[in-house]
Amino acid sequence: MTKKTKSAATSVSLAELRRIAERVLKISDADETEVDVGAETDALTRFANNTIHQHVAEQTLGISVRAVVDGRTARATTNKTDDESLRQAVVSAVSLARNQPKNPDLLPMLRAQKYQRVSRFYPKTAATSAYDRAKAVTRVCKMAEKSNQTAAGIFSSGEAATVMANSRGLFAQYQQTKSEFSITILETNSSGWAKSNSPDISTIDPDELADAASRKADQSREPKEIKPGHYTTILPPAAVLDLVGFLFYDFAGTAVLDKRSCWTGRLGKRILGDNITIWDDVYHSLQTGQPYDGEGMPRQKVLLVDRGTVNNLVYSRATAKKMKAKATGHGFLLPNEYGEAPMNLVFAGGDKSIDEMIRTTERGIMVTRLWYIREVDPYEKILTGMTRDGTFLIENGKIAGGIRNFRFNQSVVEMLSNVEMLSPSVRAAGEESFEMVVPAMKVRDFNFSEVTKF
C-alpha cells in the first residue's frame, strides 16, 4: 500500500443503540421485556510467506429481545432496525414465550442498577486503518526475509458497543476497542510464535513480537528427540493460559450444583499449592469486558482461590437463590442452560523472571505454547495436547537446544499443586482459551507422554 486509506471501521454510536432499544421497549406489550443491542466493527490484515494476502473488514449489528409472559420467557433476534423488523422480533419473542413451560426459577427483571465505570475505549485503536496495520506487517515480513525465515500471521483492530435495557427501568451500556497481533516464524525444521491482545493498540509492538518469534525459530533448529517422561517444565503465560482456561466453568455455581465441576466436594479444602490465588475481576487494569452480566447485574470481584483453597464460586441470580448464596453478577443472557461463569480470571503472580526459572533448572523443558488441547477427565481436569513452535531442553541452567514436540497428559489440578516459581502476571493471549491475566510458571513433574515426529 502506497498511500494512507481510511479505516474500514467507523465509530459505533451508543446513542443510536439506545434509541433502538427504546423503540423495542415501546413496541412490546409483554409482561416484561429486555433488549440487548450490540454492534461491532472488525478489520483484519492477514499475511503468509512474507506477503500480505488479505485485508478484510466487517460491521455487524444484533438486536436480541427477551419477553416474559405469565412466568415464561424466550428470546428472539434480528439484525434489522426498521420498525417492522423490530416489531416482528418482539412478536416472535412473545409467541415463543407463550409456548414455553413455566419456569419456576424465573426471577423478575432487575430495576435500574449502579455500575462501576471502566474505560477501555482507545480512539487510536478505533482509528487504525488497513494502511497502519500493513506498515507494521511489512516491517516484520522484511525482518523475516532478512533472516531467511518465513512469517505468517494476523494483525486486527476494531471496536464493540452494547446497550442493555428492560421495561423495569434498567439501562446499561459499554464500549471498548480491541486489537491483536499474532505471528509465526517458520524455518525448514523449526518455528517460533508470539501473540499479543489489547484494547490499546499502542501497547502492541509487532517488531518485538516478531523478534521473539524469530529467536524461537532460530534456537529450535534441528530439534533432537528426547524420551518422554515427567520433567520440570517452564510454561510462559500463553501456555499457562491455555491450560488453566479449562478451569473457568468449574467455578460456576451451576457446575457445582449439577456435580459437573472438578471442585464438587472440594470447596473449603486446600487443593492447590499455597502459592496459587485466583480472582475473577473485570475491573483489573489488564482485563476487558463489560461491568455487568447478562441480566444487567453489576459484576463483583470474587476471590475464588485463596492460597490453594477453593473458597468461593460465582453465581447468577437464579443459581444463588437455589444455593442460598449471594449473586455475584456473572450470569449469562437468559434463557440459558449454563447459569454463569467467571470470564475475567486473574492469577496472582510472583517475582521470578523466566530467565531465573531457567537458571535454577538442572534439567527440564521450556515450551513456547500448547495446542490441540482436549479434556480427558473433567473431574481431575486431565488434559492432553501438544507443544508447538519452539520446545527446548534445559540443562545446567541453560537452553541446550530445540527438541521434538511432545504430547502431554496432565492434570491441571495437579499442575497447580506443583508450581515452584511464578513470574509477575500479564495479560496473556493464547489459542485455546480467552484472554486472562496469568503468570509464567515453573512446574515440577509435568507429564510429557509421547514424542511427536516434528
Same domain, 237 and 367: yes
Read off the pLDDT band of 452 (50, 70, 90): confident
Q: In this structure, are 134 and 225 located in the same domain?
A: no
* Together in a domain, 38 and 140: yes
Co-location of 66 and 173 in the same domain: yes
180 in the same domain as 45: yes
d(CA 126, CA 160): 10
Is residue 275, in this structure, part of any structural domain at all?
A: no
Which pLDDT does position 7 carry in this prediction?
A: 42
Residue 296 inside a domain? The answer is: no
Tell me: do 33 and 91 sit in the same domain.
yes
C-alpha closest to that of 62 among 32, 88, 43, 86: 86
Residue 1 has a pLDDT of 41
pLDDT digit string, tens, across residues 38-84? 999 999 999 999 999 999 999 999 999 999 999 999 999 999 999 99
Q: How far apart are CA 263 and CA 413, in angstroms?
A: 10
Q: How confident is the model at residue 353 (pLDDT cuts 50, 70, 90)?
A: very high
153 and 226 part of one domain = no
Give the whole-angstrom CA distance, residue 336 versus residue 225: 48
The verdict on residue 281 lying in a domain is no
Residue 234 and residue 126 in one domain: no
**Among candidate residues 207, 236, 261, the one where a domain is terminated:** 207
Between CA 416 and CA 412 the distance in angstroms is 6
Tell whether 200 is covered by a domain.
yes
On whether residue 308 sits in a domain, the answer given is no
pLDDT at residue 5, as a whole number: 41
Report the distance separating Cα 289 and Cα 339, nearest Å: 18
CA 118, 122, 126, 129 torsion: positive or negative? negative
Number of domains into which the chain is organized: 2
Q: Which H or E run includes 67?
A: strand 51-69
What pLDDT does 380 receive? 94
**pLDDT single digits (tens) 165-208:** 999 999 999 999 999 999 999 999 999 999 999 999 999 999 99
Q: CA neighbours within 13 Å on the CB side: how many for 151?
A: 34
DSSP character string of 329-357: S-BPSSS-SS-B---SEEE---S--HHHH
In a domain, 42, yes or no: yes
**Is 160 among the domain residues?**
yes
For the domain that residue 129 is a member of, what is the CATH number? 3.30.2290.10
Q: How far apart are CA 185 and CA 33, in angstroms?
A: 51
pTM: 0.94
Domain that holds residue 378: 219-244+350-451
Based on the domain organization, do 238 and 379 belong to the same domain?
A: yes
User: Could you read off the pLDDT of 406-433 as tens digits, one per residue?
Assistant: 999 999 999 999 999 999 999 999 989 9
Examine the domain organization and report whether 139 and 238 are in the same domain: no
Q: Residues 108, 236: one domain?
A: no
* CA 139 distance to own-chain centroid: 28
pLDDT digits (tens, 9 = 90+) for 367-394: 999 999 999 999 999 999 999 999 999 9
Kindly report the backbone phi and psi dihedral angles of residue 299, in degrees, each rounded to the nearest multiple of 5, phi listed first.
Answer: -75, 140
Task: Give the pLDDT score at 12.
Answer: 67
> Rounded mean pLDDT of the chain?
96
Same domain, 111 and 202: yes
Beta bridge partners of 42: 58, 158
